[in-house]
Structure 1
Amino acid sequence: MHSQIEIERKYDVDDTAVPPRLIGAGAVALESEPSTDELVALYVDTADLALAQQKVAVRIRRGGSDEGWHVKLPGDEGRIELHWPLGEGDEPPAELLETLRERVGDAHLQPIARVTNRRITTILQDAAGFAVAELCDDHVEAENLRSGGTSSWREWEVELLGGAPDTRQARTALLDEIERRLLDVGAEVSASSSKLARTLGL
Structure 2
Amino acid sequence: MTTDRTPHAAGGDAAAASGASHSVEVELKFDVDESTPLPDWSALPGVARVGDPELRQLDATYLDSDDLALAHAGYAVRHRTGGPDEGWHIKGPRGADGGRVELHWPIGPVDEIPDAVADAVSKIARASDFAPIARIRNSRTAYALQDEHGGLVAEFVDDHVVATDERAGVDRSWREWEFELGPAAPTSDEGRAALLAAAEAAVRAAGGRAAASDSKLARTLGA
8 Å Cα contact 1:10-1:157 kept in structure 2:
yes
Aligned with residue 119 of structure 1, among 140, 152, 162:
140
Question: Percent of aligned pairs with the same residue?
Answer: 45
Give the distance between the partners of 2:107 and 2:128, measured in 1 at CA: 22
1:62 aligns with 2:68: no
Give the Cα separation in 1 of the matches to 2:186 and 2:130: 38
Alpha-carbon separation, structure 2, partners of 1:106 and 1:128: 44
Which residue identity does 1:4 align to in structure 2? S
CA distance in structure 2 between the partners assigned to 1:40 and 1:106 by the alignment: 21
What is the match of residue 67 of structure 2?
48
Q: Which runs of 5+ in 1 are unaligned?
A: none
Q: Kindly report which structure 2 residues correspond to 1:1-80, keeping only aligned pairs within 5 A, or say none.
A: 1-74=20-93, 75-77=95-97, 78-80=99-101
TM-score (norm 2): 0.87
Q: CA deviation at 1:142?
A: 0.3
Q: C-alpha separation between the residues in 2 aligned to 1:157 and 1:92? A: 28
Q: Supply the distance in 1 between the matched residues of 2:110 and 2:100 (Cα, whole angstroms).
A: 27
Deviation of the 1:138 alpha carbon: 0.1
> Do the aligned partners of 2:91 and 2:102 also contact (CA within 8 Å) in 1?
yes
In the other structure, the counterpart of 1:95 is: 116
Q: How far is 1:20 from its partner?
A: 1.8
Which residue of the partner structure matches residue 169 of structure 1?
190
The offset of 1:87, in angstroms, is 2.0
TM-score normalised by L of structure 1:
0.96
Distance 1:72 1:101, change over 3 A: same
CA distance in structure 2 between the partners assigned to 1:89 and 1:190 by the alignment = 29
What CA deviation, in whole Å up to 9, does each residue of 1:142-177 have, x standing for no partner?
A: 000010000100001101111111123321221110
Cα displacement (A) at 1:91 = 1.8
Residues 64, 131 of structure 2: 8 Å contact kept: yes
Contact 1:60–1:90 under 8 Å retained in 2: no
User: Could you tell me which of 144, 147, 153 is aligned with 2:168?
Assistant: 147
For the residue of structure 2 that corresponds to 1:181, the secondary structure is helix
- How many residues are matched? 202
- Name the SS for the 1:196 alignment partner: helix
Q: Secondary structure at the match of 1:134?
A: strand
CA distance in 2, matches of 1:67, 1:172: 30
What is the CA-CA distance between 1:89 and the residue it aligns to?
4.4
Counterpart amino acid of 2:96?
D
Task: Name the SS for the 2:196 alignment partner.
Answer: helix
Q: Summarize the Cα distance change of 1:3–1:36 in structure 2 as closer, same or farther, 3 Å threshold.
A: same
CA distance in 1, matches of 2:112, 2:190: 40
Q: 1:106–1:40: structure 2 CA closer, same or farther, 3 Å change rule?
A: closer
- Cα 1:30–1:147 change in 2 (3 A) is same
Q: Where does 1:183-198 land on structure 2 (aligned, <5 Å)?
A: 183-198=204-219
Task: Say if 1:35 and 1:105 are closer, same or farther in 2 by CA, change over 3 A.
Answer: closer
